[in-house]
Structure 1
Amino acid sequence: MTELWDRPDAAVVLGSALVAMVLVLSRGIWRVSRNVVTIAHEGGHALFALLSGRRLSGITLHSDTSGVTVSRGRPTGFGMILTGFAGYVAPSLLGLGGAALVAADQIRPLLWGSTALLIAMLVMIRNVFGVISVVVTGAIVFAVSWFATVEVQNAFGYLFCWFLLLGGVRPVWELQRKRVRGRAPSSDADQLARLTGVPGTLWVLVFGAISLASLYFGGLLLLAV
């Protein structure tokens, strides 16, 4: 902590972490900010569907922060398993990758890369709310990368990574809570259970372990302790 406070950007690092916690933990704010996590979640499904050789049909983002990614191909097999697995871990892994770029002082490439991914995702969005969500998110990231000062870009980069790292954990907990109440019979974990025979609860534990590990290692990178 002493080394952290000796850093000239200590206030930015800790302040952005605090703001990200508010965005994730505040129930009212989370209803809005969770849309960014949903974009990352569905983007993870879409990316790994393509990487596994499936044909991507479209992505729908709903105002209740849920989403659906439709791809065509074999209904079983490794490609389908990989596609189903990618959603809940995507925000955390993106946050970890972003933290690595921030630690390497590559914040502008992080912002440009994020903008490019959002533009690529926009092509596959199939509903109005989804288009608005992606366009607004992309416009904010692009505006910061193009018009903001270096100081603002640095602060935004830290906030962006902290939010994905923290925001990747909460949906996993929400998922299991819904499953316990019988409100998520077709969740990613339950679909994976049907595909693999591995219990859905175990898949939730795997999601949680990856999210928490990403938060830990990403946090170390951002804090540079």
Structure 2
Amino acid sequence: MKTASGAQLDMGRLVLLLAMLGVGWYFWYSPVFWPLKLLVVMMHESGHALATLLVGGSVDRIHLAANESGECLSRLPPGVFRQIAVYSGGYLGSAIAGAGLLLATFRFQLRRWVLGAACVWLVVMGVMYAGDGFTLAFCVGTAVVLGLCAKWLPDGAVDFLNLFIAAFTALYAVFDLRDDLWNSAVRSRSDAALLSDITYIPAIAWAGLWTLLAVGLLAVAAWWSMHARPRHLQMPPMSARARRA
């Protein structure tokens, strides 16, 4: 299948992505994946932090907990739209991170740059905003591990690691919405409930909107990632008369 630009579906990428999603799904509750889950929680809280800064607020601190929960404490200027942006920044932020990782890994093949950017992000967030020793230790420790992987792993292993992090992040973003927003007991304490209090729009409506946006964004990113552009543009052959001229 080709797109209008001539990009063609890469079956190898598609099979690999589906296999990694399947592994993540099947072993979802394995303790081996705990660091990756906490990494995505950090993406969620970073989404809140970035949205806060973009609307003119300030971030006090970020907390991560070993039970895979987190919180971002910030100060906002008055305004309902600012609150909507910040409360929406968590779930949509993790979906954007998953989409960006899929594109950077599959389509642009940035390899070690992906791990390097993750290291910088974790160190900056940990040093500037970590509100406790556990959060700081996780951010710096994970950055060190990813940095060592970027430096010492062979190219093939770096590609595999990037692909798995991208697939797992996308999967977690969807599961995060499912568990936190579509479970009524959890939803009553979620960002959707906070928005419901200030907008009078039911929390379930915010849950539906965020789910549609997140799934749509991840689907578009996956589509682009699975379609490789032609590697070389070939000029049409010149006629003998054109060469003589």
TM-score band by shorter chain is 0.7 to 0.9
SS in 1 for 2:109: coil
State the SS of the aligned residue for 1:186.
coil
Tell me the distance in 2 between the aligned counterparts of 1:128 and 1:151.
Answer: 34
Match of 2:203 among 200, 203, 217: 200
Over residues 79-107 of structure 1, what are the superposed CA-to-partner deviations in whole Å (9 max), with x where a residue is unaligned?
22211110011111111112222201222
Runs ≥4 in structure 1, deviation > 4 angstroms? 9-15, 27-32
Q: How does 1:1-225 map to 2 (within 5 A)?
A: 4-5=10-11, 7=12, 12-23=16-27, 25-26=28-29, 33-74=36-77, 76-102=79-105, 103-123=107-127, 124-178=129-183, 180-181=184-185, 183-224=186-227
Tell me the distance in 2 between the aligned counterparts of 1:174 and 1:17: 18
Paired residue type of 1:121: M
Aligned equivalents of 1:10, 1:152: Cα separation in 2 = 18
Letter in 1 for 2:155: V
Tell me the distance in 2 between the aligned counterparts of 1:97 and 1:10.
17
3-state SS of 1:56 partner: strand
Alpha-carbon offset, residue 116 of structure 1: 1.2
Matched residue type, 1:82: A
Q: Distance in 2 between matches of 1:29 and 1:111?
A: 20
- Mapped to 2, the partners of 1:88 and 1:142 lie a distance apart of 27
Give the drift of 1:28.
Answer: 5.2
Q: Which structure 2 segments of 5+ residues have no match?
A: 2-7, 229-245
Identity %, equivalent residues: 20
Q: Cα RMSD (Å) of the superposition?
A: 2.5
CA shift in 2, pair 1:137/1:218, >3 Å = farther
Once the 2 structures are TM-superposed, how far is the Cα of residue 137 of structure 1 from its aligned partner? Answer: 2.4
How many residue pairs get aligned? The number is 220
CA distance in structure 1 between the partners assigned to 2:178 and 2:14 by the alignment: 30
Distance 1:140 1:220, change over 3 A: farther
More helix by share: 1
1:116 aligned counterpart, secondary structure: helix
Q: Which runs of 5+ in 1 are unaligned?
A: none
Q: CA deviation at 1:67?
A: 0.8
Kept in 1, the 8 Å contact 2:62–2:73? The answer is yes
Q: Deviations over 1:37-86 (max 9, x none)?
A: 21110011111111111011000111111111111133543222211110
Q: 1:22 to 1:128 in 2, by over 3 A?
A: farther
Q: Tell me how far apart the structure 2 counterparts of residues 27 and 174 of structure 1 sit (CA, whole Å).
A: 17
Higher Cα Rg, which structure: 2
Letter in 2 for 1:53: G
TM-score, normalised to structure 1, is 0.85
